[in-house]
Chains A and B, each alone.
Chain A
Amino acid sequence: MAGHEEGFNLEMPKVGVIKGVLAKDIEVTGEKVVNIRTCARPYRNYYSSNQLRRLALVARKYGSSKVHLSPRHNLEIPEVRQKELNNALRELYIAGLFPGGAGTSVRNIFTCPDWCSKAILPVQELGLMVSKNFGDMDMPNKVTISFAGCFNGCSRPYNTDIGVYAMAEVVLDRERKCEPDCKACVEVCPFDAIKIQDGAIEIDTTTCTGCIKCVEVCKADVLRPGRRGYRVMVGGKEGMDVRWATEVKRAIDDFSVLETIDAILRWYSKEAILRKGSKKKKERLAELIDRAGIDSIPL
């Protein structure tokens, strides 16, 4: 009964354990080291104070007492000694922290904070649902999913494989009259989608993104927020080369967002092939869309 003597054995995903690296300027300790990229599971866009304390403890005990802040909500504990890896993971697990957000999988879901006053719709719960359904799912290549509550896009949905924005349709009330010589909505529109001709407002619905900045400045209530929903963009990426995501859905509800993401991920896992000249690496969503065309996504 050797297993009993060893006690509880925890099986942890090793996806967030990144090959140990000692940068050239850092003193070589001679031991093999790994970096642990951690995040809370189920996904939260914040860390509790207990989790911060646990991270501090693990970094001090097994690493070099430092934690790196990564741009996707993850905190990385560098220089964890390979021999102590399982102990470190176990101690993180107690505080609800898991390794993850690396390799060819769905990376950590990124949402904006819930206290922001600019958010048109809250996206945190949606992020949690997506994380529960698709988080850490195995994919042909890395897939990043970001959510933004308004069009400022602090979580950068424009540069991620699947980006979701909260938006609201702008409703034009033809019964009401603008204040004389008021051009506030025309001036504030970041996309030049509003025109005033002979005192009547016209909105170009193809260029309007639903950021409702015009609604915020309208004093006469001619412009009002209509149906709120989410806008889904696909095929962005960042890094060696930059691509912007293209819109595939607009003003849809949260359940349809889940369905859309599911359809995109299924299509991507089925269709992705090896990169040109590569024996192992498969193409990313942006490259697949370039090859197959955006219309071939079954939505």
Chain B
Amino acid sequence: MVKDDLIEGRNRETVVLRISSVKPYSAELTSEQLEILADIAEQYGSGKAHVTARQTIEVPDVPRNCVDEVVSVLESHGLRISSTGRQLRNVIACSRWCLYNVKPMSELACELNRQYMNVRLPGKTTISLSGCDFSCVRSRTSDIGVIARADIGLTEKRCKHCKVCIKEPLGCQVDAITLTDDGVVIDRERCVRCGFCWNVCRPGTIEAKRTYYDVFIGGRGGMRPEEAKFLGSVEGQDALKALIQRIIDIYQANAREGERISDLVKRQGMEVFNGRA
């Protein structure tokens, strides 16, 4: 934890603690962790806990002189004070239990959170990891957004004409699938590679031949929102982690103090990243 991570409270004596989980998973809390948070909110704060948009929990009204005590309790339960200011913010990921998931992302979020704990950057940087094209965690308005995708193919297994893959709400969103007497036909031009049909196909006719990640950079929300631009696709978690590392390196080397990735892209164009990342 660095000193900046404490958020000014209602008065000088109290602070707001922004807490996130790094163990066993980010994006979720275990029952024990919930109980610890309840204890902390009751004992040190005003018995309240605010859930933020970036999967952290904020406990307000904690006296400044109790912070060290709280931090040691948190750390023994896999929790930590989450970053604020010009740092890499809590990496968020979507639910592992979602039906649409091409790949569960919260393990990766956890690894990134541990790796980049308290890394100083030129500006606020957010990473969002989405398991599917819906991007509930807002990959398209984050500084670095990741969306998992699947290339769909067909197997030998016979289609049983259950029509789940073409019906709403879980089937194809873009009408790329038609069912004929011979089986499933996929319109490659229409397919957006979201992998929904693969998720719902029970007989196993539709299969993901390849899963990969689309990486977007330069998005932001808030005052001057910006949509992220597509950077490229990578296969495998190790390649994705390496790419994120390179993006952060380039950002650190090129950005002026206070600039976010979107500002850097605006000033120098996507070429800063395109050639080298």
Contacts and interface: CB of A to CB of B under 8 A. Distances in A.
Nearest to B102: A24
B157 interface: no
Interface size bracket, B side:
35 or more
Q: Which of A35, A69, A151 counts the most B-chain CB atoms under 10 A from its CB? A: A69
B51 A156 contact: no
Interface string A10-23: 00000000010111
Nearest to B133: A240
Interface string A269-285: 00000000111110000
Contacts of A191: 224
Contact of B61 (A49, A55, A115): A115
Interface residues of A, number: 61
A23 B38 contact: no
Interface string B15-58: 01000000001011111101101110110000111111111111
Interface stretch (A40-48, A130-138, A194-202, A220-228): A40-48
B138 A238 contact: yes
A230 interface: no
A239 interface: yes
Nearest to B98: A21
A65 B30 contact: yes
A28 interface: no
B92 A71 contact: yes
A79 B222 contact: no
Contacts of A35: 95, 97
Contact of B222 (A60, A68, A70, A156): A156
Interface of A: 19, 21-26, 35, 45-50, 52-53, 55-57, 59-60, 65-76, 78-79, 110, 113, 115, 117, 151-156, 158-159, 190-191, 211, 238-242, 244, 277-281
Interface of B: 8-10, 16, 25, 27-32, 34-35, 37-39, 41-42, 47-58, 60-61, 92, 95-99, 101, 104, 133-138, 140-141, 168-169, 173, 175, 221-225, 227
